[in-house]
Amino acid sequence: MKTSAPFPLPNIAKPLLQWFRARARSLPWRDCPLPYYVWVSEIMLQQTRVAAVMPYFSRFVAALPDVASLAAADDDALMKLWEGLGYYSRARNLKKAAKLVMEKYGGAIPGDFDELLSLPGIGRYTAGAIASIAYGERVPAVDGNVLRVVARLTASRDDILRDTTKRAVEAALAAAMPKEAGQFNQAMMELGALVCLPRAAHCEECPLAALCRAHAEGLEAELPVKTAKKARRVEPRTVLLIERDGKFAIAKRPKRGLLAELWEFPNLPGEKSRAEILALCKSAGLFAKSAHRMKAARHIFTHIEWQLSGWHIRLADTPEAVGEKRARCGSSPLPPLTWATHEELSDIYSIPAAFHAYLPTTP
C-alpha cells in the first residue's frame, strides 16, 4: 500500500489566526461555544451547508436546550426537528449519544478526544472539533475543507480520500497547532469554506498566499487529488398521494436501510402507468375516484438517485378498514397506512425531503 508523504506545514498559525479574528463569520454555535452547541452544530454541518443549518440549529436548541432534553426527546418530535436536513441517522445517533452522556458522564459532554470518539455518530473530525473548540484541547479537526487547504499549502498529490493521507494531515496540523487550538481549527475550516474553495482558490484574498506552494507553483486548480467517486445508481419510483376526506395516506418505512423508520407517502419501484396504479389501488382495497399525474421530481442520496413520478389519487369511499385489513393479512401491495391531515403532516409527522415535491398544498 502506498503511504502518504508527510505534510510539513509552514508557520501558518499567526497569519491564519489574525485573518480569522478579523473575518470570522458570526455563527450561533461559534459566538456561544457551549459543548452541546458545538456538538449539535457539527453533526448538523456534516454534509450540509452553514446557511441551511442555521434555522435548524436555532429551532433544535430552542426545543431541546441541553443533553438531558435531547436524551428524553420523543422520536417523532426529534425527526420533525430534523425534517429536511437529510441523513436522519445523524439525529438518531445524537439521541443515542445523549443517553450515553447522561448515563456515563452525568450529562456533561466529555472533553477528551478518545472519550468523544466512543460516542455514537462522533468520528475523528467531530471529536477533534468538540475537544478543541469547546474545551481547548490541542487536537486537529480535519474535514474536507481542511484537507483541501493542506493539500494546496503543501502542493501534495496524495489522494485526500485515503485514510493514510488524513492521518498524515492530522499529524502535520498537530505539529503546527498553537495554544488557541479551537480558533486554529475553525480558521482552517473557514479558510476552506470562504477563500480556498474547491473550484476556485481566491489566493489574492488568502492570508497564507505567501506560504502556499500550490500558489507559488500555479497548481491551485489541480489540487487536491481525489479518487473518482462511483457513479450513483438511478432508481425510478412512483409516489402515491392518496387522499380521502381531506386526509392523506402515509406509511412508516422499515426499521433498516434508507430513511429508516421515517414516514413516507406510499411509493413503488419503477414508473407506473395510470392503469397500473388503479389496479394496485383496487388490489389494496382502495377505490379510486380519480388519478391525476403529478410533477416529476428527483432526489439525490449519496449512492442513489431517485427519479420520481407521482399520482394524486382521490378515493371514492372509506376504504381505510378494508385496506388496512388486507395489509394485516399480508395480501395488500401497500404497507399499513396511517391517515394524516394537512396540519398533522405539517406539525407531527416528519416527511423526508425526498418526498417534499408531493406534499399536498394547504387548502
Residues of the shown chain interacting with ligand SF4 in the complex, contacts defined by CB under 6 A: 149, 152-153, 195-196, 201-203, 206, 208-209, 212, 214-215, 220
Q: 17 is written with which cell numbers?
A: 489566526
CA distances from 110 to 70, 170, 177, 194, 232 (A): 16, 21, 21, 30, 38
Instruction: For the CB of residue 210, give the shortest distance to ligand SF4 in the complex, in Å.
Output: 8
Q: At what angle do helices 13-23 and 181-194 cross, to 10 degrees?
A: 70
CB nearer ligand SF4, residue 170 or residue 220: 220
Instruction: For the CB of residue 190, give the shortest distance to ligand SF4 in the complex, in Å.
Output: 12
Q: Phi/psi of residue 278, each to 5°? A: -65, -40
CB nearer ligand SF4, residue 50 or residue 209: 209
DSSP state at residue 163: H
Instruction: For the CB of residue 159, give the shortest distance to ligand SF4 in the complex, in Å.
Output: 18
What is the rounded distance in angstroms from the CA atom of residue 45 to the CA atom of residue 343? 29
* Overall residue count recorded for the chain in this entry: 363
Residues with active-site annotation: 42
CB nearer ligand SF4, residue 40 or residue 208: 208
Q: DSSP per residue over 231-290, as a string? A: PPEEEEEEEEEEEETTEEEEEEPPSSSTTTT-EE--EEES---HHHHHHHHHHTT--EEE
CB nearer ligand SF4, residue 139 or residue 206: 206
Instruction: For the CB of residue 184, give the shortest distance to ligand SF4 in the complex, in Å.
Output: 15
